[in-house]
Every structure is written in C-alpha cells, then in structure tokens.
Amino acid sequence: DDSDGVDQSEADVELLGWEECAENMAFRVDKAWRQRCSQRFRNILDMIAKKADHSVLRLLQISQQHIESQLERVKHERELWKEVVERRQQQPLQLALSMKEQSADGGYAQSMPQSARALRR
C-alpha cells in the first residue's frame, strides 16, 4: 500500500527530527550542567543525593528548634512550680502566726471573721 509507505517515511522524518532535537537538547543540558554544577557534584545522581541530605538536614534543624522550644517551656513551668512550692512552704508559717494572733485576741476574736478582726485594730 502506497499510503503506508508515505506514512512510514513521514514517521521516519519526524523521528529523525526528534533525534536531532534530543541530541541538541542533551548537548545543551550537558553544557549547562558543566557550567553550573560540575564543581560541586559529580553527576545528577550525586546532586540528588546531596539534595536529599539537605532535606534531612532541614528536618533535623526543625526538630532541634522544636526541642529547644519545648525545653524553654519546661524551664518556665519549672520556675512556676518553684514559686508554688515556696508559697506552700510559707503557708504553714503564716497559718501559725495567724493562730498565735487568734489565741492572743481571746475567744471573742476567734469567732469573728478575719476582716472584722482587722477593723478592730
């Protein structure tokens, strides 16, 4: 069939065009690679591996920042707990002093609310 031959020759011409284009493209990519990356990377696979290493490094940096922020939060909470403990340690002393005051005022003062005792003074 003559039409099959024409179609085949058009396909061959198109294929040759693609080959020529691909060779030109390969040359251009290789030239650009050498200009930009050949000092840092041996080849594209090496570049991809380094990029993966960079991604892992970035994840590690993010993790480190997260841990540092958690550590700061824990330090802050620890300081707050220290204050709570100090206040609780002072409470027995304050309670003992208030009981001493109550016994010095006599039975009448014990039955009055603390605000009323403050007004009496």
The upper half-sphere exposure of residue 76, i.e. CA atoms within 13 Å in the direction of its Cβ, equals 6
Tokens for 63, please give them. Answer: 């993790």
Question: Which has more pLDDT, 120 or 74?
Answer: 74
The string of pLDDT tens digits covering residues 39-97 is 788 777 788 888 888 888 888 899 999 999 999 999 999 999 999 888 888 777 777 77
The string of pLDDT tens digits covering residues 13-47 is 777 777 777 777 788 888 887 777 767 887 777 88
pLDDT at 69: 94
- Taking CA atoms, 62 is separated from 51, 66, 69, 72, in Å, by 17, 6, 11, 15
The model carries a pTM of 0.39
